[in-house]
Amino acid sequence: MEAIILVGIQASGKSSFYKERFFDTHVRINLDMLKTKHRQQALLDACLASKQPFVVDNTNATVEKRSYFISAARAAGFRVVGYYLRSDLDSALSRNDERGPLSRIPKIGLLGTYKQMQLPDRKEGFDELYYVRISGYGEFVVEEWLNEV
């Protein structure tokens, strides 16, 4: 049983990474898609109760936001894996500008998340933690976590 927590600012590639790596094996829990915290909680509860692997595809920018999912998953016996999708602000803003009008994030929202971002740490309860970057060829590259950026 595996719980995956994606961490990164908007337009860093989290949803694309989920679709490429976990679409066939893990349920996607995403607040933008579910629209309310009540629905997000209901889906999380269903995954935990049924021992269904899942991915939390939100920004998860702060230790506090991540701790909620990590503690619930660990209490249910899940292994918790974190992926930090690192992206510089200019690249994220550029990718955001390429989105369609309905999925584009207001610049102020992206800047706010960027300012709030706290790097994840294994001490938060992650069993494994990785960096993810987008290569010059547009491919996701997963690297071992080294407690540095």
Residue 116 placed within a domain: yes
Mean predicted confidence (pLDDT) in 49-76? 98
pLDDT band at residue 87, thresholds of 50, 70 and 90? confident
Residue 97 has pLDDT above 90, yes or no: yes
**148 has pLDDT over 60:** no
How many structural domains comprise the chain? 1
149 belongs to a structural domain: no
Q: What is the mean pLDDT of residues 19-41?
A: 97
CATH number at residue 57: 3.40.50.300
DSSP string computed for the chain: -EEEEEE--TTSSHHHHHHHHTTTTSEEE-HHHH-SHHHHHHHHHHHHHHT--EEE-S---SHHHHHHHHHHHHHTT-EEEEEEE---HHHHHHHHHHS-TTTPPPHHHHHHHHHH-----GGGT-SEEEEEEE-TTS-EEEEE--S--
**Average pLDDT value for residue range 106-122:** 95
Domain membership flag for residue 80: yes
Please provide the average confidence, as pLDDT, over all residues in the chain. 95
Residue 64 lies in a domain: yes
Is the pLDDT at 71 greater than 80? The verdict is yes
Q: pLDDT band at 138, cuts 50/70/90?
A: confident
Does pLDDT of 149 surpass 60? no
